[in-house]
Structure 1
Amino acid sequence: MPSRAPSKQPSTSAKLLYRPVGIVSSILGGLLSSLIFKQIWKRVSPSSDQRSDAPGPLESEYPIKEILVAAALQGAIYAVVKAVINRQGARTFEKVTGEWPGS
């Protein structure tokens, strides 16, 4: 098992400076994950109408299996996009400022 390097303690100023960057990247990540999900859902949706929006839990015309698959896929895409964007944002912040913004 590879050993992990000791984590650097971020300064309070680094945390404060990163906050606006984190907010903007979270918004962009949400938009990007939504676009990715819609494209994937159009291709894998078992529904005949091939709509880009996933069925919601209160839409009775869709089976529960389809609703749960859509929710799981949407959640997984969101989590992966969020992790990538947050990590890359922190790395870029560290390159620019010399400090890691995380805790």
Structure 2
Amino acid sequence: MKASKIAYKPVGLALGAVSGMLAGAVFKQAWKMLGHDEDAPDATDEDRAWTEVLLAATLQGAIFAGVKAAVDRAGATATRRLTGTWPG
């Protein structure tokens, strides 16, 4: 394994944590904007309809994937600017 990959590992882990927190906040705001309750339903919420549970899960997954990709890409780009090499 290249030294640049090893050096990027802790940065990648930190960016993953940041992207998870950011995605959670974005999803919460999106759920409110859609006019739903304060909290999104869990899969085991007995009082919520199938459609609401599946909509929430799909939206949350899409937002998480998009935010994670954007944060990872920004981190890799910044690493290349600082070190001259792509961390991948």
Q: Which TM bucket (shorter chain)? A: over 0.9
Shift of 1:101: 0.5
Code of the aligned partner of 2:24: S
Aligned to 2:5: 15
Distance 2:53 2:77 in 1: 36
Instruction: Describe the SS at the equivalent of 2:25.
Output: helix
Aligned to 2:74: 88
1:8-63 Cα deviation digits (max 9, x unpaired): xxx711101100110000000000000000011012144xxx21x21001101000
- Aligned ranges 1:29-40 → 2 under 5 Å: 29-40=19-30
Instruction: Point out 4+ residue stretches in structure 1 off by more than 2 angstroms.
Output: none
- Structure 2: give runs of 5+ residues left out of the alignment: none
Code of the aligned partner of 1:91: T
Code of the aligned partner of 2:4: A
- Aligned ranges 1:52-71 → 2 under 5 Å: 53-71=39-57
Aligned to 2:59: 73
Identical amino acids, percent of aligned pairs = 41
Tell me the TM-score normalized by structure 2: 0.95
Task: Give the greater-gyration-radius structure (CA).
Answer: 1
Distance 2:25 2:41 in 1: 16
Tell me the TM-score normalized by structure 1: 0.82
- Structure 1: give runs of 5+ residues left out of the alignment: 1-10
Aligned residue pairs total 88
